[in-house]
Structure 1
Amino acid sequence: MSDSKATNALSLLQTVFGYDAFRSHQAEIIDDLVAGSDCFVLMPTGGGKSLCYQIPALIRPGTAIVVSPLIALMQDQVSALKANGVKAAYYNSTLDYESADQVLMQLHTGQLDLLYVSPERLLNQTFFQQLQQLPIALFAIDEAHCISQWGHDFRPEYSKIGQLRDYFPQVPFIALTATADAATRQDILQRLNLHQPHVHVSSFDRPNIRYTVFEKRQPMKQLLSFLEARPGHQESGIVYCLSRKRVEEVALQLQDKGYRAKAYHAGLPGDVRQAVHQQFIRDEVDIVVATVAFGMGIDKPNVRFVVHYDLPKNIEGYYQETGRAGRDGLESEALLLYGAQDIVTARHFVENNPNEDQRRIENFKLSCMVDFAEAQSCRRSVLLNYFDERTDHACGNCDICLNPPRFFDATVAAQKALSCVYRLDQGFGVRHVIDVLRGMEHERIRQLNHQSLSTYGIGKEYSVVEWDSLIRQLIHLGYLVQDIQQYSVLKLTEKAGDLLKGKVSLQLAMPRNKVPKSTRGGQKNKADLTADELERFETLRRLRKDIADSEERPAYQVFGDAALIEMAKRCPQNDSELLAINGVGESKLARYGFEFLNQLRQFE
């Protein structure tokens, strides 16, 4: 890139988008793309992927075509670009005939800097032929992992996108994704037929997100304990559940507790889903309880927490979903609740996959997810190492680092558990084994005459929660297995023999099932504000909400929380001082500057 174009890129970043400097890798990617090179970009959610093609789209001649599978994300990004004064539109199945015709007219007359399209609409023969007659600035393939059958979110409609490269030999292509392991990365490069692409891999570390994992015990009680530290209805969050039924149950229970929560899943009518989506991005709903389909199309920067009520199927999905928290760089939290039954259920679904290769890959990915959930060392290190970003130092911002597990000599306890499984002829599940160990008296034990077993009542020193944790660790360490085909009964492995015979000793972690009340999130982000500054922030937040409502747009598209916090601290008094606030560009200064400066001057 010439010096003038580099200066142009930085100038556009500052004047259009309102940021002082590029983040890691952004400048290099923009440089490559403006120069006409193909790029492959692996950058975490919230890392600033969109700017990597949006700024080149403003520099290169023609219209940039952005391919996205996510209709909601298209709409959100186009709305945000327009708020910054960029000429953008989307072209997908949501448009009526007249609106679609209007977009095509803008495209053909050179009125658009960026056009977002769905893969199906892009590959429509008529539209495809029209593109070949027009000046195209670049092609951006967003969510590029969708093209790979080894990715966690393979979409068949992406499979033909690779054909594009041959038809537009002079147009640079950029493929972007937030989550892809080494095999998926290679598959993406091959399938998209990129020409000697420049590969840019950013750090996967999101230091502003605190990762916490707890064994699932009364999960609703654990969730409520987590939420209690978030007073009022001022923080946005997502709670992910694996089934539609659980989504609705959790949403109703949160509503009963006074939270502004709504359910979202594919079984709901389209207008209901659309309404929930709009209410969430406009801060009219604080918590969305959803299946994993929700959030893919949301570019909402002020999500302060993401909770997984059930164990995700793979680390890629978990990483992408937790990455929806704290996109504005402010402190946020990711809480995962999981239990042994979650693992059994997930493995059952994997084993039902008729494709042997897919089954092998999914089993590996699930095992890695379980390893993360059951880790006794820094969780961020486990996460980063999975994505080949090697690190061996503790992060200081996960539950393991902040509250290290306590280990104890569990040899005798483990022998008791294994002996009990053996005495029960390896024919019963976890709960019944625990009942026998603890000497419980109920009808089923009497009917089976299990009170006469030598292991009956030998484990009264441990609670149900403690035994459940110990048995789960024995499963994880390979001393026990749960037979999915036989109602998840516990069975001994060959490895169990040496432990039962006392040939080896065993250290296990004491169980931790109580979720401590959160001390982070938005309240923490504002903790360093003085009382006067906090009052200013809340006043500015109300002004932002009024403006956003009048324009029928999300509040964060006016200004983000980080910008409001900076305004509350620095209290700018004129145009140049307001422009110096990160997130304030010239278009937003022209649109909102008068009202915000008027309010800020009143503080003085």
Structure 2
Amino acid sequence: MQNSSSDSNLKSNTDVQSSTQILQQHFGFSHFRDGQQQVVDTILNGQSSAAIFPTGSGKSLCYQLPALVLPHLTLVISPLLALMQDQLEFLASKGISAASIDSMQSKEQSQQVMAGVKSGHIKILMISVERLNNERFRQFLAHIPISLLVVDEAHCISEWGHNFRPDYLKLPKYKEQFNIAQTLLLTATATEKVVSDMGEKFAIEHNNIVLTGFYRANLNLHVQGIKQTEKDNYLAQWLNDKTQSSGIVYVTLQQTAEQVASSLSAKGVAATAYHAGMDSELRQNIQQNFMNGNIKLIVATIAFGMGIDKSDIRFVVHYDLPKSIENYAQEIGRAGRDGSPSECLVLANYDNLNILENFVYADTPEASAISYVINEIIEQAKQHNFQWEVVLNSLSSQSNIRLLSLKTLLVYLELAGLIKPAYSYFAEYKFKLKCSESELINKFDGERQTFIQAILDSSDKAKIWYALNFERMAVQYPSDRSRVITAIEYFDEKNLLELQSKQMTEVYQVNSNPMDLALLNNDMYSRFEQKELSEIKRIEHLLAFFASNSCLSLQLAHYFSDHRLQQPCGHCSVCLGSVALMPPVPQLKPLNEFSFNSIAKDIIEKLGEKSSATLISRFLCGLTTPIFTKLRVRKLNGFAMFENYRFNDIRSWVEKNISTN
């Protein structure tokens, strides 16, 4: 936590230079954008804040400037590597020392960054939230004074947000654990409910939450109701007079990106596909050419554009429906950042509505799977002094709950009081010496020699590699586990050995007071059902928005609590007299015309005693689960045969047939 001398240093620095002077000197800007100065000054005055700004409105500056003044490290939690790299390049161009630690780096690169942080040379460190699950990294952070915790895409902390990530819920505890005095939350897309939830979790005063408004007058929103088969021709004509402008066409699937880019190019509109299935070097090359204007049109899946600060994107097209209003808002926010008029078009129909909804149902665990997890916790707690250790990937496979849903379940169980996170650790630490045992030991003296000898003697030895054995070490030379790890990491840092660690294990304390487990199980399942219902309503809201006869800009502004726009915008497709008329959805073959027994026979046999109506329905709708991956069911007859049908209709059909067989 910042001490009084640090606070006085902070005040004296800001007395000498105002935030505006720092802005001009270090960033070369003559003035702040709307909302920026209020957030910056709040942080420099020693308080926490939240910036709810539209995409492209300069949220990053709200931590970049204070980081220059604050006495210690600014730690930034960012969800995507692309976001980090873009911001690091900007900071480097301004001569500001910043770095990231990420999975793409070599061990030497990560150690170099950590050395820079430790020395105080690096002022801004960017990491993913998952990095904090690393026991070794948390131990490193525990010895680093941190002035400010920045949470980018902060809506991820709210389960009512459109991109809830359970690991974000741990951030308030990490803030406390690392004695970080201040927090800055950043997001572009948060409803009033989500903003309130974010603020409460970090105890941010309401007056320090700054919303600048969502409406941007230079964005012209258009929705065109259209049949799927007519999209390519319509899009090619719409783009005909825009070939010299930069733009993005968003699609849902990688194969669609390739197909649409090929179709447009064949019609005389030069287009380049971009998606995660491409080689990373090719993706970087395409992105760079788009940034410098050599490529004008990108047909991409939604990951493209995250962190891309290109100011002159003149149009954004949604070839497929976006996942939510929040996603739509974020994606169109990449257009017109220079303030010039830009077009945002959605080609809308309800053809893929069922697929969109079905993805939601795939995330809800079965009640029996939830019960399995709870029983595992209780049984292990009885045997291990009310402590539960879990490797999440293994439990996901055993319980047949998707990994993200499993993390969410554990958060729910924590909120219900059954478990409480204690710590996490790597189940296995292996090392090989780069010198002899005697050389290593003789680099130290006194008690340290005895301690190091005990580490070596208690380790399990193979031909070259040693594996730490904490249980044997505790018997031979009782010492704190963290001391052993710190020592091994020090040797690694000094190039005396090579260290490897793997298989993250989460450790929880389990409530020793008896609980009604049946009631708890029902409560957990109910929470997932509520979340499922919330996500379905989000899709319904999205569809109603695109088919609405009310001003699109006005609806969008109010959805994001921007009440400064009080009248129709006058320039969206609805205001211009063109309400989207959705074409009729193609009729699907009635389910009673299919033979359930012949279609479901293979999956029922494969699942055996694990077979259930829900699992059979997921199989038929093409929804993956851990058990399907384990059993390799994709090649079986019937997989994804009903992906265009509503999941609930398929489940009712399956239940009816199971009961009559």
TM surpasses 0.5: yes
The equivalent of 1:222 in structure 2 is 234
Q: Which amino acid aligns with 1:37?
A: Q
Q: CA deviation at 1:432?
A: 6.9
SS class of match (1:255): helix
The 5 Å alignment of 1:193-232 reads 198-217=208-227, 218-232=230-244
Q: Which amino acid aligns with 2:568?
A: A
The 5 Å alignment of 1:12-23 reads 12-23=22-33
Distance 1:70 1:432 in 2: 40
Q: Which amino acid aligns with 1:376?
A: N
| CA distances 1:463-497 after superposition (whole Å, capped 9, x unpaired) | xxxxxxxxxxxxxxxxxxx9847999xxxxxxxxx
The 5 Å alignment of 1:300-315 reads 300-315=310-325
The equivalent of 1:107 in structure 2 is 117
Deviates most, 265-274 or 210-219 = 265-274
Residue of structure 2 aligned with 1:336, choices 342, 346, 349: 346
Q: CA deviation at 1:330?
A: 2.6
Distance 2:580 2:104 in 1: 54
Note if contact 1:9-1:59 (Cα within 8 Å) is conserved in structure 2: no
Residue of structure 1 aligned with 2:531, choices 358, 368, 388: 358
Deviates most, 265-274 or 362-371 = 265-274
Distance 1:281 1:487 in 2: 46
SS class of match (1:212): strand
The equivalent of 2:184 in structure 1 is 174
SS class of match (2:213): coil
Distance 1:166 1:486 in 2: 44
Is residue 294 from structure 1 mapped to residue 304 from structure 2 by the alignment?
yes
Q: Which amino acid aligns with 1:314?
A: S
The 5 Å alignment of 1:475-494 reads 484=646
Is residue 393 from structure 1 mapped to residue 605 from structure 2 by the alignment?
no
Note if contact 1:41-1:201 (Cα within 8 Å) is conserved in structure 2: yes
Is residue 262 from structure 1 mapped to residue 272 from structure 2 by the alignment?
yes
Higher relative contact order (CA 8 A, sep 6+): 1
Change (3 A) 1:350 1:365: same
The equivalent of 2:14 in structure 1 is 5
Q: Which amino acid aligns with 2:70?
A: R
Is residue 30 from structure 1 mapped to residue 40 from structure 2 by the alignment?
yes
Q: Which amino acid aligns with 1:387?
A: F
How many matched pairs? 418
The equivalent of 2:544 in structure 1 is 371
The equivalent of 2:165 in structure 1 is 155
SS class of match (1:401): coil
Distance 1:25 1:53 in 2: 13
| CA distances 1:429-478 after superposition (whole Å, capped 9, x unpaired) | 75579xxxxxxxxxxxxxxxxxxxxxxxxxxxxxxxxxxxxxxxxxxxxx
The equivalent of 2:248 in structure 1 is 238
Residue of structure 2 aligned with 1:60, choices 35, 54, 70: 70
Distance 1:35 1:375 in 2: 45
Q: CA deviation at 1:145?
A: 1.4
Question: In percent, how many aligned pairs have the same letter?
Answer: 37
| CA distances 1:125-156 after superposition (whole Å, capped 9, x unpaired) | 23223233233231111011122222212234
Distance 2:648 2:68 in 1: 61
Distance 1:214 1:3 in 2: 57
Change (3 A) 1:123 1:56: farther
Residue of structure 2 aligned with 1:85, choices 77, 82, 95: 95
SS class of match (1:400): coil
TM-score (norm 2): 0.58
The 5 Å alignment of 1:408-419 reads none
Distance 1:208 1:273 in 2: 30
Q: Which amino acid aligns with 2:562?
A: E
Q: Which amino acid aligns with 2:240?
A: E
Q: Which amino acid aligns with 2:21?
A: S
| CA distances 1:522-566 after superposition (whole Å, capped 9, x unpaired) | xxxxxxxxxxxxxxxxxxxxxxxxxxxxxxxxxxxxxxxxxxxxx
Q: Which amino acid aligns with 2:241?
A: A
Q: Which amino acid aligns with 1:220?
A: D
Q: CA deviation at 1:211?
A: 0.7
The 5 Å alignment of 1:183-582 reads 183-192=193-202, 198-217=208-227, 218-232=230-244, 235-354=245-364, 355-390=528-563, 391-403=565-577, 430=585, 484=646
Q: Which amino acid aligns with 1:392?
A: Q
Distance 1:271 1:393 in 2: 47
Q: CA deviation at 1:285?
A: 2.5
| Structure 1: 5+ residue stretches without partners | 408-416, 418-428, 434-481, 489-604
Q: Which amino acid aligns with 1:294?
A: F
Q: CA deviation at 1:196?
A: 7.8
Q: Which amino acid aligns with 1:303?
A: I
Residue of structure 1 aligned with 2:175, choices 165, 180, 203: 165
RMSD between superposed Cα atoms in Å: 3.0
Distance 1:121 1:37 in 2: 26
